[in-house]
Amino acid sequence: MITADRLPGPRIFTAGPHIDGEHPAYPADAVVARDAEEATRLAERNVQEGATALKIYFRLPFASAKAVIAVCDVHHIPCTAHLELNGEPNVRQLEPDRAVVAPAGSSAGARAASPNGCYSKPRT
C-alpha cells in the first residue's frame, strides 16, 4: 500500500529461506544448494513463493552465488549476502559496481558504508 499510494515509508523485503552451501550456518533457516543449477532452482522457487529479495550465505560456493545474483537480475530484486568467508576479492568479482564490501564480521562497517547495509542493488 505504501508503494502503490506513493507514500513515504520503509520498503520491506521478504526473502524466504537463505540459500547456503553444504553444512549451512543456520540450517533451520536455510536451503542448501550443492551447485549452481540447484542454487538457480532454489532462488526461482523463493521468487515463485513471493520473495521480493534473495539472501545468500557464506558457505555458498562462488559459482552458486553468481547464479543466485543472476536470478535476482532477471526478476529485478535485490540480493543480500553474508559473504565473509568467501573473501573480499570474490565479493568484488561478483558485482564490483553494485556491492558494498565491509571487512569480515563488520556489519557496522557495512551500515556506515551504505544506509541499506551490504547488498547488491537491482539494476535500474
Q: How far apart are CA 62 and CA 101, in angstroms?
A: 16
pLDDT at 84: 62
Q: How far apart are CA 58 and CA 43, in angstroms?
A: 16
Q: How far apart are CA 123 and CA 121, in angstroms?
A: 6
Neighbouring CB atoms inside 10 A of 32's CB total 18
Q: How many domains does the chain have?
A: 1
- Which CATH number belongs to the domain containing residue 66 in this structure? 3.40.50
pLDDT at 1: 59
- 111 belongs to a structural domain: yes
- 93 belongs to a structural domain: yes
Q: What ranges make up the beta strands (E) of the chain?
A: 18-20, 30-32, 54-56, 79-81, 119-120
The pLDDT tens digits along the chain (124 residues) read 566 777 787 778 889 999 999 999 899 999 999 999 999 999 999 999 999 999 998 888 888 988 998 999 899 998 888 766 555 444 545 554 554 444 444 443 333 333 333 344 444 4
pLDDT at 20: 93
- 13 belongs to a structural domain: no
Give me 82's grid cell: 553474508
pLDDT at 102: 43
pLDDT at 12: 83
- 5 belongs to a structural domain: no
Closest listed residue to residue 47, CA positions, set 11, 72, 18, 12: 72
- 77 belongs to a structural domain: yes
pLDDT at 13: 86
- How many angstroms separate the Cα of 89 from the Cα of each of 9, 10, 68, 117? 35, 32, 18, 19
**Domain membership of residue 36 as a residue range:** 18-120
pLDDT at 85: 54
Cβ distance 40 to 71 under 8 Å?
A: yes
- 31 belongs to a structural domain: yes
- 11 belongs to a structural domain: no
- 23 belongs to a structural domain: yes
